[in-house]
Copies of this chain bind each other. A is one copy, B any other.
């Protein structure tokens, strides 16, 4: 019960494989009579071309590779859907992979994908992956980075405007009267994370508040959750006058909320909270956790369009291939104007 091949269609119709191929691809000039006969035979026999054979011969697979840090994560869900929708319009399929922010794993994935003859890549940067990316570029394999980029490399990328989003959020806290603002982030060499921290310091400077390193907590990447919760609790413990806290990722936000719950603190009375990257839970959790919502759909769509343009499938309407997209600041109950004595400006 093997599927029928093009050659068999040729035999059935009395045409040559060449002719059948030409008809199927709408190329060449084939008489209407022959065309119809072939098309009919194709239909009657439920013939569909073998993609593998096509890939082997043509050297391209109509498959895009997408490498994200965590295929189970909340960022990925929305992303996958929009990438798929955009790519499908041009007949592209997607292979998704998780790098888990692990360099070795990411390397293997790229190697694996390239031997599957993947036509293009959407990659979430992993520290140290620069050489592999350059290698892809050298081999004329189009790559678009999302969610981050390598400052030293000239590779197209699409990501949220981390710096300004954080500054917006910080403004909001400061204008609500908060002065002792903590910042919890993760210690990983990713530009997007560094930019968020920079946004924190820039905001303090902008409002003439002095930075205090004791208010900044950098947790090791992939730290055990229990330990992370404890570390955040310690941050609160050693900074009793801290009146607001900024979490630089949604994962950290969850950890932070657990810490706050365990300490029995009340949001926003004891502490105001804002978190980078929204989650459904932030909306549902009383009093609502304010957040900076990433425009995931737009990032995904833009990245895919960019990639398709590089593949020559689509015209590129954008002037640049290094794109930052503004985020949405979502203010919920976790930030409330506090009583600020008038003399404190």
Contact = CB atoms under 8 A, between A and B. Distances in A.
Interface of A: 1, 3, 48-53, 55-56, 61, 71-73, 76-78, 80-81, 84, 93, 95-96, 98, 111-112, 114-117, 138-140, 254, 257-258, 261, 280-281, 284-286
A96 B79 CA distance: 14
Given A48-B111, A52-B116, 16 more contacts: A3-B114, A3-B115, A52-B61, A71-B81, A72-B76, A72-B77, A73-B77, A77-B77, A84-B98, A93-B95, A93-B112, A96-B96, A261-B286, A281-B281, A281-B285, A285-B285
B52 A56 contact: yes
B56 A81 contact: no
A323 B49 CA distance: 36
Contacts of A111: 48
A95 B186 CA distance: 31
A23 to B, nearest CB: 18
Q: Which 8 A-B pairs have the closest CB atoms?
A: A72-B77, A281-B281, A52-B55, A52-B56, A51-B115, A71-B80, A1-B139, A56-B56
A80 B77 CA distance: 12
Contacts of A138: 1
- Would you call the interface of chain A mostly helix, strand, loop, or mixed? helix
Given A72-B76, A72-B77, A284-B285, A48 B98 contact: no
A153 to B, nearest CB: 19
Contacts of A98: 80-81, 84
Contacts of A114: 3
9 contacts: A1-B138, A3-B114, A50-B117, A56-B56, A84-B98, A93-B116, A95-B95, A254-B280, A284-B285
B281 A284 contact: yes
Contact of A284 (B49, B51, B139, B261): B261
A258 B288 CA distance: 12
Contacts of A254: 280, 284
Nearest to A113: B93
Contacts of A51: 115-117
Query: Which of A50, A257, A281 is the most central at the interface, judged by chain B CB atoms within 10 Å of its CB?
Result: A281
Contacts of A71: 77, 80-81, 84, 96
A155 B3 CA distance: 22
Contacts of A286: 261, 286
A59 to B, nearest CB: 8
A329 to B, nearest CB: 22
A51 B56 CA distance: 9
A54 to B, nearest CB: 9
A69 to B, nearest CB: 12
A111 B280 CA distance: 35
A101 to B, nearest CB: 14
A254 B283 CA distance: 11
A113 to B, nearest CB: 9
A296 to B, nearest CB: 10
A115 B280 contact: no
Contact of A52 (B1, B117, B139): B117
A138 B3 CA distance: 12
A257 B284 contact: yes
Query: Which of A3, A51, A140 is the most central at the interface, judged by chain B CB atoms within 10 Å of its CB?
Result: A51
